[in-house]
Each structure stands twice: as C-alpha cells, then as structure tokens.
Amino acid sequence: MKPTSKPSIRNGRTLLAMALAALLAACGALPDKPARSTLYDFGPGPMNSAPAAAANASLPPLALAEIESNARLDGNQILYRFAYADGNELRPYGQSRWSLAPAQLLRQRLRDALAVDHTVMAPSDLSSAARTDGRRPPILRVSLEEFSQVFDTPTHSVGLVRISATLIGSDVAGKRTMTQRTFTAQRPAPSSDAAGGVQALAAASDAVVAELVAWVAASDPPR
C-alpha cells in the first residue's frame, strides 16, 4: 500500500497560512507614511479684536518694522541649549517645528498688543501719515537676539527670549530722536521636551511683549 500524501499537503497548507499571517502582521506594523513634524505657534492669543480696539486708540499712531534676527533664528526650528554641558551650542528638535519663523510669530503678537492703544502701520505708510502736533509717527524697530529652550539640568529648562528695541521719532522741532532698550524674559518649561519648550517660549514672548508695549507707551505721551 502506497503512503498517502494528504498529511503532507495539509502540513504545507498550514505552513503557507502561517507565513501569510506573519507577513500581514509585519506589514500592519509598518507606518502608512513617514512621521510628520509637529507644528507649533504661540496659541490663539486674546479673543478680543485688535482692529476694533485700535478704532478707539488712546495713543498716537506707530509704525512697526519687520523684526530682525540672526541667521540661526530665520528658520522654523525649535532650538534648545544644554547650559550644563555646552551652552554655546544650539540644537534643533528633530520632529517639531514652529509654523513660522520665531521673529514672525513674535511680530504678530507684538502688533496685536500695540494695536490695543495705537494705530499700527508699516514704515512704508509714514509718508501719508502725520500726527496732530505735526510730528510723524515714530518707528519701532526690534531685533530678536535669543529665542531658545535652555536646560540648566537634564530635567529642568526655561524658555529664554531676549530682544533689543529702538524707538525712532522726532521732537516738536522736527529733530530726530532715538531711544533704545533691551528686554529679557524667561519662563519655566512644564516638561523637558519640545512641547514644554514651546509653552515656555510663548509665555516668555508674552512677557517681553508686555514690557515692550509699556515702554513704548511711556516713551510717547497721549495725544
């Protein structure tokens, strides 16, 4: 009697089914697409309308220039430093980005804050603007010097923001005036990662903006 081949066929089918199942499981474990970068900004900010507030502005018009920054801050990388190891080295997070360059995000925040009490315009609009006392509106120029998450230990960090501001105006005789000041703020990060750094940098930016707006208001009396 010849040996039957049925057990061999059944074994072959079982092995094939197991191989297919393993292949499907392996395919299911692969990501559908490469991981995308997480985009961050400063959040929605105040819910009030700045243009509406500017209609009742109590302070003179103001021209806000584009915020300048060094080449390292021109991109949209979220940067951090290990101050306890080598504070001179700026490192970028790999899968986290700002939605815009930090200088642009900061300018948006600053413009909204200034617009509560000023009519804010671009420097190119100054030729058609004149104040009731005959002086042209001042120009505010801002330079972003530091914008990073700084770790003083492996588990503790702060968001550090430093800007320099120049307010260029004129006195009643038409003579050009210039006032300068540096503003620095730091706020603790709630976590030792990009998300924590974003929250800390947004809070530090709001603090710097508040100081800058108060300084501008004190530098030019109400009309």
Per-residue confidence band for 27, with pLDDT thresholds at 50, 70 and 90: very low
Per-residue confidence band for 130, with pLDDT thresholds at 50, 70 and 90: low
The dihedrals phi and psi of 115, each to the nearest 5 degrees, come to -70, -10
What average pLDDT does range 139-152 have in this prediction? 97
Cα separations in angstroms, 14 against 17, 18, 21, 63: 5, 6, 11, 77
Percent of the chain with pLDDT strictly greater than 90 = 60
pLDDT at position 214 over 60: yes
Per-residue confidence band for 125, with pLDDT thresholds at 50, 70 and 90: confident
Buried b (16+ CB within 10 A) or exposed e, 10-19: eeeeeeeeee
Q: Which residue has the higher pLDDT, 62 or 130?
A: 62
Q: Could you give the domains of the chain?
A: 38-219 (3.40.50.10610)
Per-residue confidence band for 4, with pLDDT thresholds at 50, 70 and 90: very low
pLDDT at 96: 96
At 125, the amino acid letter reads D
pLDDT digits (tens, 9 = 90+) for 62-82: 999 999 999 999 999 999 999
**Cα 178 to Cα 168: distance, rounded to the nearest angstrom:** 5
pLDDT at 160: 98
**Cα 213 to Cα 223: distance, rounded to the nearest angstrom:** 17
Give me the half-sphere count of Cα atoms (radius 13 Å) on the Cβ side of residue 105: 28
Report the chain's mean pLDDT, rounded to a whole number: 82
